[in-house]
Structure 1
Amino acid sequence: MHVEEIMKQDVITLQPTDSIVTAHQLLLAHRIRHIPIVDEDYSIVGIVSDRDIRDASPSIFSADENQDILNKNIATIMKSPVITVHPLDFVEEVARIFYDHEIACLPVVSNGVLVGIITEKDLLYTLIQLTGTHIQGSHIEVKVPNRPGILPEVASVFGNRGLNISSVLVYPYKNNPEYKILVFRIQTMNPLPIIRDLRQAGYELMWPNNIPEPKL
């Protein structure tokens, strides 16, 4: 899945000469946490967050502090340079950027122009869709040897039962490179027959692993 499929294209922006108070008002009005700062050509030059504005705002406990600070240009508090992504970047690669840089928002830029924005919330929603957790069904984890062809072998067991697979995930088994875990979301509320089929086929279930062998 590409970034362009999940990014928001209607982006609220400001220019560097706009005031801090204007940014604060926009954040509140639109219930957002970040505002990209762009120049006349809509090229991104900075970004400001609700935290940046809180840090710059005068303390409510200090009457002597300069209240005019909120009238300063947003350029005085914006973060620059800005980490950006491209619309055709893969979502899973972008997730790594969020993690590595500990950020909550990424502007999307194409040909030097801001075309969208993606947030942590967008990524979490996408993860829900990719894993199929928004669809009613059952969750099954199978420990398998780490060898070519193992995924279609296991998937065929579900196909023989006529079950529809909502999603499949693959992740390592602890620190043992000889095995991996296949995670299936299947569209059935009664997983007992497929659990029996998997066990009879010789596969080890990591979840559910506390259900006894169904009786015929």
Structure 2
Amino acid sequence: MVVEEIMKTEVITLKKDDTIETALQLLNEHHIRHIPIINEQKHILGIISDKDIRDACPSIFQKEEHCNELQNSVEKIMTKNVITVHPLDFVEEVSAIFYEKEIGCLPVTKEGKLVGIITEKDILYTLIQLTGALQPSSQIEVKVKNISGMLAKVVAIIAKRKVNINSVLVYPYSKSEEYKILVFRLQTMNPTSIINDLKNAGYTVLWPNLPGITL
């Protein structure tokens, strides 16, 4: 999956000379947390967040003393070194940027111009969709040896029961590099027969931990 499939293309933006007060109004009106700052050519000059706005707003105990602070331009509080991504970047790689840089959004640019925006909420929702967690289903976790061909063998056992697989995840087994964990979300509410088939084939099912299954 690439960024252009999940990014928002209708982006609320500001110019660098717009006021902080205007930014605050837009954040509240559109229930957003970030606003890119662009020029006439849609090139990104910076970005501001709701945190930047909060830091710039005077305390309720100091409003009279600093009543003109919100009339400052957003240029004075915006972050200028903005990390951007391309519409054809893979969502998995973009997720790593969110994690490593600890940021809440990424503007999406093409040929230097803003074409969209992607937020950490978009990433989380995409993960939910990819795992099929919102669909009626059940999940099983199978420990297998970390060698080629294991996924195909386990899938073949599931296929014999004519049950659809909504999603598959693979992650390392924390106790040994010799194994890995296959996580299946299956389109059935009762995976007992599949679990028994896997057990009879010599596989270890870590979840669900039904009686008689050795971990």
TM-score band by shorter chain is over 0.9
Instruction: Provide the residue aligned with 1:143 in structure 2.
Output: 143
Which structure 2 segments of 5+ residues have no match? none
Say which is worse superposed, 59-68 or 104-113, in terms of deviation: 59-68
Query: What displacement does 1:209 show?
Result: 1.7
Q: With structure 1 as the length reference, what TM-score do the two structures score?
A: 0.96
Query: What displacement does 1:63 show?
Result: 4.7
Kindly report which structure 2 residues correspond to 1:101-180, keeping only aligned pairs within 5 A, or say none.
101-180=101-180
1:52–1:63 distance in 2 versus 1, CA, 3 Å: closer
Instruction: Provide the residue aligned with 2:59 in structure 1.
Output: 59
Query: Partner amino acid for 2:209?
Result: N
Q: Distance in 2 between matches of 1:4 and 1:107?
A: 11
Instruction: Provide the residue aligned with 1:27 in structure 2.
Output: 27
Q: Distance in 2 between matches of 1:189 and 1:166?
A: 13
Q: Distance in 1 between matches of 2:176 and 2:41?
A: 52
Query: What displacement does 1:67 show?
Result: 1.2
Q: Distance in 2 between matches of 1:194 and 1:108?
A: 43
DSSP-derived class of the 2:190 partner:
coil
Q: Distance in 2 between matches of 1:60 and 1:38?
A: 31
Does the Cα contact within 8 Å between 1:132 and 1:167 map onto a contact in 2? yes
Instruction: Provide the residue aligned with 1:69 in structure 2.
Output: 69
Query: Partner amino acid for 2:27?
Result: L
Query: What displacement does 1:175 show?
Result: 4.7
Q: Distance in 1 between matches of 2:69 and 2:108?
A: 30
DSSP-derived class of the 1:54 partner:
helix
The aligned length equals 213
Matched, 1:206 2:206: yes
Query: What displacement does 1:122 show?
Result: 0.3
DSSP-derived class of the 1:168 partner:
strand
Query: Partner amino acid for 2:165?
Result: I
Does the Cα contact within 8 Å between 1:59 and 1:65 map onto a contact in 2? no
Which structure 1 segments of 5+ residues have no match? none
Query: What displacement does 1:212 show?
Result: 4.0
Q: Distance in 2 between matches of 1:194 and 1:58?
A: 61
Query: What displacement does 1:65 show?
Result: 2.8
Please give the root-mean-square deviation of Cα atoms over the aligned residues, in Å: 1.0
1:162-197 CA distance string (max 9 Å, x none): 110000000000052110000000000111111110
Query: What displacement does 1:211 show?
Result: 3.6
Query: What displacement does 1:64 show?
Result: 5.1
Query: What displacement does 1:66 show?
Result: 1.8
Query: Partner amino acid for 1:43?
Result: H
Query: Partner amino acid for 2:60?
Result: I
1:1-54 CA distance string (max 9 Å, x none): 000000000000000010000000000010000000001100011000111010
Q: Distance in 1 between matches of 2:87 and 2:66?
A: 42
Does the Cα contact within 8 Å between 1:9 and 1:117 map onto a contact in 2? yes
